[in-house]
Structures are given as structure tokens and as C-alpha cells.
Structure 1
Amino acid sequence: MGALSETWQDLRALLRLSGFRRLFAVRLVSQAGDGMFQVGLASLLFFSPERAGTAAGVAGAFAIMLAPFTLVGPFAGVLLDRWRRRQVLAVGNLVRLVLTGAMAAVMLTGGLSGAGEAVVIVLGLTALSVNRFLLAALSAGLPRVVDGPLLLTANSLTPTLGAGAVFLGGGVGFLLGLGLAPGRMHDAAALVCASVVFGVAGLLALRLGRDQLGPEHPVRGRLGAEIAAVARGLVDGARYLVARRTPGQGLLVMAAHRFLYGVVFIAAILISRNLLAEPGDTSAGLANFALVIAMTGVGGACAVLITPVLSRRTGPQGWIVCMLLLAAASQLLLATTPSRTVVLVGAGLLGLAAQSAKIAVDTIVQRDTHDDYRGRAFAFYDVLYNAAFVGAAVLAAFAVPDDGWSRGLFVLLALAYLAVAALMWFRGARHPAEVDLPRSPAAR
């Protein structure tokens, strides 16, 4: 009760900040649309009867879906340090409205055979790429509306409740599909709803001041020259993060965590489709996976209650170590038996560990990174975050069996989590190093 009381008090303090309230509203509505969108895309890529239910098939679709995120990441950093982040949130959500509406229109008029399926997938990958851009802008803009001790609580609330909005939106999208007879409208229902929600999020972003989210010192010069300098900007940002030590180490730990989590995620898709459901019953497989995602969301929601309070006692780095140990325990639990109860409890524990660790890493990166580098820092974060997931898909194609469960695999994943925790505890820095790096030529 003490943790809940302290978190509630901090939340009330945050909600008194008008800038935070408006940015928080944009995140919640935008991510609710994400959930609806993801349900529609997951049904197409992972649970349609036409798709192969093998480890290689699921991992291949997963890698294709994530590859654009990695390509967009570097450009996001340059543009977030150049453009007003409020405009990025407004225009980006309106672009997603158009893309998602076009996907729904193709599905309603032409179905998913032949060229129609290719068009839907291309539009979907583009919309997902824009989404990563928006999430980076939300993170980079948060310190502009919150500072001091409340930043830690804001970092626990905004991504965690944002993830809750994703699950809520996904649940609505899933229920919309259940309420309709199989057919074109059944396939497009979640996307139609998502496009409307994206439009609302874009309008909500306009309530923020034009310069309220920064950057404080926008990059000047020709856009073409800035695009050409993407690689130099990323190298410059990486050098800064490494020199500061704490944010660089946090990003590396998060990438390792994400890599291991990605393998578990693909295993969960296969377990839901091929082990916990009758062969060929893809609707039951999607329902099982929805339960796994829901339990992951419950774990993530618990992170908002305990992270702000307990991480103040352990420090962000110590808290990350604790959560890596919890992640290892979740994998050992999954190694016992692939029953539905064990899978759901394991998903909840891993959701708690993953979201709590991410809150702490986000706080370290925001706290220890200067605003002039913050956009590039979170873009680099996205590159590592998504590259780790793509790498996990490659590993899963070879290491995960077609039914998703292997005792030896989950034991190895637990040992890997323990190794990362040991490195963070014994070799990780607790305080940022003093650095005085010059700005990159593009930022002058």
C-alpha cells in the first residue's frame, strides 16, 4: 500500500503539469490506436490460415515487420534534433491515419490475394516505421514538460500506461473481429477503428505549444546535407553515450534484454498457435496469444506501482539487475512445463521485468544525456532496440521448435539473463562520467 500511495501522490503532482497532461494524452490515444493496428497486422502475418505456422515462417514474418524500424531509427534522430517534436507528433499521427485507412480500403475492396496482400504489407510496414518515429519523439520530448525527481515517475507512468493503452486498444480490435462474421469487414475492422484513433491523437498533439517539446537548439542547414550526415550524427551520438558511460551501458543492457525477450516472444506465438490450440484453429491461437499479451500487460502495469518507489532505494542500475534476475526466473518457470497457466504466469513475470528495466534505462538516458543529443540518443536506442529483435528472429528460426517449447532453450535463456545481470552488477557504472564533447558539424 505504501508503494501505491507514493505513486498516486506522484501521479497527482504530474497531472498538475499542463504540459505533461497534454503529452500524456497524445501518448495514450496514439498507443491505443497502435494496439488496434497491431491486432489487424498480427492476424494477417501470424495467425491467418494461409500463413505457415513454423518457427522459420513466423520468425521470417517477424523480421520483415521489424526491419523498417531499424532503418528509420537513424533518420529519426537527425529529424528530431532538427524539427519541432510537437509537429512530428501531429503530422506523424495524421500520416498513420492515411496509411491505415488505405490498408482498410484495400482489404475491403480487393481482399488479401495477390497484389492486394503486397500493398497491405507495404503500407503496414510504413505505418510501423512512422510509429517508431513517434515513440522516439514522445521520449525525447518528455524531459521538456517534466524535470527533477518526478521524471522517474513520469518514465514509469508514460511507457507503462502507454503499453496498457496498447493492450486496451488491441483488446477492442480483437473484440471487434469477434463480433463480425468472417469476411472483408472482419479483417479490416481493427484498422478502420485505428485510423480514427490516430486522427484524434494528431489533433490532441496540436494542444501543445509549437516549441514546447524542443529541441532547445534546433539543427540548421539544408535537409539534404542533414540526411547525408546521418551516419556521422549517429557516430557522434554513440561516442557521447559511451563517454558518459551510464547511458551507453543502459542501452547495451536493454538491447541484450530485448534480444532475449524477442526469442521468447516468437516462442509464445508458436506455443499459442501450435501447442495450446487445436491444429488449424488459428482463431483459438490468436485468442491464446491475446491472453499472453494481456498477462504481459498486467506485468507491465505492476511496474508502474513498484518501480518509482523501489528503484529509489536500489538506484536505476541496481533495479535493472533485479529485473534481469526476475526475467531469468520467468524463463526457469517456462522450462518446467508448457501448460497454459505456466505460460501466462511466465508472461506476466517477464512483462514486469521488461517494463521495469525499460523504465530505469529510459530514466538513465534522459537524465544523463544533454538535450542537444537527446534526439540522437533515443534514435540510437531505437536502432539497438529493433536490431536486437531482428537478431532474435534470426536466432529463433534455428533455435525454437515449431511448437515453440523446449526445456533446454528456456534454461539457456535464463542463463543468458543471469550473465547480463552479473555484468551490470560487477562492471556497470553507477554515475555518469564528465565529458565535454563538441557538437557534431550538423548541430552547429
Structure 2
Amino acid sequence: MVPGARLGLGGLVRTPGFRRLLAVRFATQWADGMFQAALGGAVLFNPERQADPLAVAAGLAVLLLPYSLIGPFAGALIDRWDRKRVLLGANLARAALVVVVAAVVLSGGAGAALFLPALAVAGVSRFVLAALSVALPHVAPRRHMVEANTFAVTAGAAVAALGGATAIGLRELVGTGDTGSATVTLVAIAGSLAAAVFAGGFRRGQLGPDRTDRRPSTVSSVLHGFADGARATIATPSVAASFLALGTHRLAFGVSTLLSLLLFRYAFTDAGPLRAGMAGLGEAVVLAAAGLGTAALATPWAVRRWGRPRTVRVALVVATVTQLTLAALLSLPIVMVSAFVLGLTGQVVKLCADAAVQSEVGDEVLGRVFALYDIVFNVGYVLAVTSAALLSPPNGVAPWLFAGAALLYVIGLVGHDLQLRRARATAAR
């Protein structure tokens, strides 16, 4: 092993720039978790409360697609503006929007009056998270992107959960009426303000972009953002391979999500400690979260041992076998085990895709590629849920659809391999 090839978590955290960017991320994601729980996201956006499978798909579309609609525009701006200023300004803007939402809650507002500013907060949050992702290569060595990204993403998700728990605890203290809800919502601005303060500690230009495109205006750059991201992705076969793997995973995972929801509601009955209904869904979510946590530990080890491409292929093969097992042995225990395995394998693919983009895409287009990445991640999932809703029986008992999800993983595996062969052929020229 080359000396210093493995920096380790301790070495990363001792890096001042990485440590400060982590502080921005943690404050940002704490604020996100706090805001979502304070607003009652489980009531406003929760598709599990809908009996109609198509309503489930509609609920997920409302939750996820607004992020993707602003993605190409946000990405272009992140590639033209000083990212320190992006993180500073976006967090201040989010704090102002949270104040607006709190005022609407206090006044008893509902419907569009509450929904639109809440979506604006979500959109700005997506902007901040994209800026954090593209800034990471400027504060951590590129050869350690898997370690740095794995820790940042996983710890950030844990901090977001802590923010949600904080909101729930605070709500017990201040009450559950409009005044209490508005108070808890308003407290979420503390995270945004802290993130802005931490971001202000970076030097101008420290987070990039190192170069910008040559278009004469920001408007022109924004309008071309999606096409630029797509061209940059296609031009880098290893990144295109990662996109294919991630995209097919999200399609397959969307199918499994819709069917599992219907099975828990209409088909399953309790099996010992395993529950059906909403309680069972909660157990499945916990197992899926455990899979994500396990991936944070397993991915850096696997990448060091096998390399990133082989790690992705192993994850896709394991996911394929899991989906076929679901199709053959459709039962509550198998669905529970699958929740853990698919959470693990899907996160492995995502972490490897993150690292591919961060380490192999030019800094001048990195924001736009991440915007495309966001669209692949969210739109593919919503399309799969919608398709499954149209094709599934009302009770979700559809082994053939689970088998179809397995086929999607196989397509991802083949596409990933073909793109890597294109990379090797390009390198050999």
C-alpha cells in the first residue's frame, strides 16, 4: 500500500476544511430534520395515508419532483458562483423562508398558503446539499472521496434524524396547537443561521469553482445546465456507468416500495414479533435504515479491497438475488430481510456513484452533473412507483413485478459493464 493511501476518518476530521464543511452540513441537515418534523411532514406528504396506489405515487411526486425541477438551474449557478457565497446566502434565504412558514402555521393557514413556502424551503435545502457535495473535493483528497463522502452523507442523515427528534421533544414542551407548531418551526432557523456562520469561515474561492464555463451570462449558463450535465456525464464512461447502476436501482427500489406498502396494509398479518400494518412499515423502515448504516461501514472496505466498479457489481448481484427471492417466497419475514439488504446494496451503489462524480467530473460542470444525478435519483423512483401503481393488484401480491425489479438490476449490471468497457477502450486509444 502506498504510504498515506488510507487517510482514515481521524485524518479527515483533522483536516480544517473538511471539518468546517462537515459543520455546515450538520447544521444544515439538523435544520432540515427539525423543519420537516415541525411541519408535520408525515401528515403533509406521507403517501402511506392514502388508500389508492395512484395517490401514493402522487404523494411521492409532490415530495420529490420539485427538487429535480430546480436541479439543472441550481447546478448551473453552483458552477458559476463562489460556493462559499452560495452556502452562506442559501442558508440565510432558507432561514427567511422558515420564518414565513412559521407565520402561516401560526395564522392557521393550510393548503397552498402553507404548501408553497414549504416546497420553497425544500428546494433551497436541495440547493444547499448540492453545493455541499460539489465543494467536498476542495477540502478532502480526491483519492479519499469514498471515505469522505460516506462519512459526510451517513453522519448527515443521522444529524437530520436528531433534528427531527429535537422537534418532537420540543413539541411536547410547547404544545401541539398552531402556536406550538409555529414555535417549533421557527426554532429550525437556528440550524440555518449556524450553517451560514460556519460557511462564512471559508476563504473566498476556497470551495470553487476553479473554472467556469465561457458563456457570457449566468442566464445562458442556467438555460444550458441540463444539457451540459448530460454531456459531461456521457463523456466520462465511469460516471455514466455509475448513473446507470444508480438509475436502475432506483427504478427497482420504487417498485418494491409501492408493493411493500400495499402488502403491509392489505395482505400481511402479524408473524411473531414482526407486525403488519403501519407498525410493520415502521419496522421495515428501521431495518432499511440499518442497511444504510451498514453500507457506511462496508463500502470503504469493499472499495479498498475490490475497487469501486466491482463493488457496484457485487451490490447489484446481491440486489438481484434478493428481488428474485422476494418473487419466489413472498412473505412478511422475507420482506423484512429484503428491506435491510436492499437498503444496504442501494446505499453502496449510491456512495460509489457519489465518489465517481466527485472524483472524475471536472469542477467547472460538477454542479450540473449533480443536478442530473438528482433527477436520476428522484424521477426514476417516482416513475417506478407510478408504473407499479398502475400494474399492481390492490393488495400488492404481485410476484411478477418483484421479478421485473430483479430484471431491472440485471439491466443495470449489463449497462454498467458496457460503460466500463467503453472507458477501457477509450483509454487504450
TM bucket by the smaller chain?
A: 0.7 to 0.9
Matched, 1:37 2:23: no
Partner of 1:79: 77
Would the aligned equivalents of 1:164 and 1:297 in 2 still touch at CA under 8 Å?
no
* Partner residue, 2:23: 25
Matched residue, 1:198: 192
User: What's the secondary structure of 1:53's corresponding residue?
Assistant: coil
Change (3 A) 1:432 1:153: farther
Query: Hey, what's the Cα distance between the residues in 2 that align with 1:99 and 1:91?
Result: 12
Q: In structure 1, what residue type is equivalent to 2:345?
A: A
**CA distance, structure 1, for counterparts of residue 269 and residue 178 of structure 2:** 24
Deviation at 1:247, TM superposition (A): 1.2
Which of 355, 372, 388 is equivalent to 2:347? 355
The match for 2:292 among 293, 300, 313 is 300
When residues 232 and 427 of structure 1 are mapped into structure 2, their CA distance, relative to the original with a 3 A threshold, is closer
* Corresponding residue SS for 1:159: helix
- Contact 2:241 2:415 (C-alpha < 8 Å) held by counterparts: no
Paired residue type of 1:31: Q
Residue 276 of structure 1: CA displacement?
7.1
Change (3 A) 1:428 1:174: farther
Aligned-residue offset at 1:213: 0.7
8 A contact 1:7–1:309 mirrored in 2 = no
- Secondary structure at the residue paired with 1:149? helix
1:334 CA drift (Å): 4.3
The more displaced of 368-377 and 197-206 is 197-206
Q: Cα 1:117–1:275, aligned 2, differ >3 Å: closer, same or farther?
A: farther
Matched, 1:364 2:356: yes
Within 1, Cα distance between the matches of 2:388 and 2:184?
Answer: 29
Q: Structure 2 unaligned runs (5+)?
A: 271-275
Q: Distance in 2 between matches of 1:417 and 1:423?
A: 10
Match of 2:230 in 1: 238
- Residue 406 of structure 2 is matched in structure 1 by 414
**In terms of mean alpha carbon deviation, does 235-244 or 354-363 score higher?**
235-244
Distance (Å, rounded) in 1 between the aligned partners of 2:5 and 2:262: 37
Structure 1 residue 342: deviation in Å?
A: 4.1
Any idea what SS the aligned residue of 1:207 has? coil
Q: What is the rounded CA distance, in whole Å, between the counterparts of 1:54 and 1:7 in structure 2?
A: 52
Question: Which residue number corresponds to residue 324 of structure 1?
Answer: 316
Give 1:219 deviation, angstroms.
5.1
CA drift of 1:307 comes to 0.9
TM-score of the pair, normalised by structure 2: 0.85
The answer to whether the Cα contact below 8 Å between 1:67 and 1:386 also exists between their aligned partners in 2 is: yes
Q: Which moved more, 1:57-66 or 1:35-44?
A: 35-44
* Aligned mate of 2:9, from 8, 11, 20: 11
Give the Å deviation of 1:59: 0.8
Identify which range, 386-395 or 183-192, moves more after superposition: 183-192
Task: Report if aligned partners of 2:215, 2:221 keep a CA contact under 8 Å in 1.
Answer: no
Distance (whole Å) between structure 2 residues aligned to residue 14 and residue 79 of structure 1: 28
What secondary structure sits across from 2:206 in the alignment?
coil
Spell out, residue by residue over 1:266-285, the C-alpha distance to the aligned partner (whole angstroms, 9 max, x if none): 4455556666799xxxxx96
Cα deviation digits, residues 180-202 of structure 1 (max 9, x gap): 87643676576445333233223
**Which whole-Å deviations, capped at 9, do the CAs of 1:213-246 have from their partners, x for residues lacking one?**
1101245776xx4324434343233223212211
Q: Which residue number in structure 2 is paired with residue 153 of structure 1? A: 147
Maintained 8 Å contact 1:144/1:213:
yes
Matched, 1:123 2:121: no
1:281 is matched with none
Distance 1:237 1:318, change over 3 A: same
The C-alpha deviation readout for 1:8-33, integer Å capped at 9, x for no partner, is 96101101100000111211222233
3-state DSSP of counterpart to 2:81:
coil
* 1:253 equivalent in structure 2: 245
Look up the match of 2:106. Answer: 108
Contact 1:161 1:301 in 2 (8 A): no
8 Å contact from structure 2 (residues 92, 193) kept in 1: yes
Amino acid of the residue matched to residue 140 of structure 2?
V
Unaligned runs of 5+ in 1: 1-5, 279-283, 436-444
Instruction: Indicate conservation of the 8 Å contact 1:74/1:379, yes or no.
Output: yes
1:65 to 1:213, Cα distance in 2 relative to 1, 3 A:
same
- In the alignment, residue 208 of structure 2 is paired with which amino acid? G
Structure 1 counterpart of 2:251, one-letter code: F
Q: How many corresponding residue pairs?
A: 416
Give the fraction of aligned pairs with identical amino acids, expressed as a percent. Answer: 35
After the TM superposition, which residues 416-431 of structure 1 pair with which residues of structure 2 at under 5 Å, given as runs? 416-425=408-417, 428-429=420-421, 431=423
Deviation at 1:143, TM superposition (A): 0.4
C-alpha change, 1:243 and 1:426, in structure 2 (3 Å) is closer
Give yes or no for contact 1:167–1:293 (8 Å, CA) kept in 2.
no
Return the letter of the residue paired with 2:52: T
Distance 1:129 1:36 in 2: 16
The alpha-carbon distance between structure 1 residues 96 and 286, as it changes in their structure 2 partners (threshold 3 A), is: farther
Q: Give the Å deviation of 1:387.
A: 2.2
C-alpha distance 133-358 of structure 1, shift in aligned 2 (>3 A): same
Specify the alignment match of 1:309 in structure 2.
301
State the alpha-carbon separation in 2 of the partners of residues 298 and 138 from structure 1. Answer: 24
2:219 is aligned with 1:227:
yes
Deviations 1:48-71 (A, max 9, x none): 9xx632211121121122222221
Distance in 2 of aligned mates of 1:105 and 1:277: 43
Contact 2:146 2:300 in 1 (8 A): yes
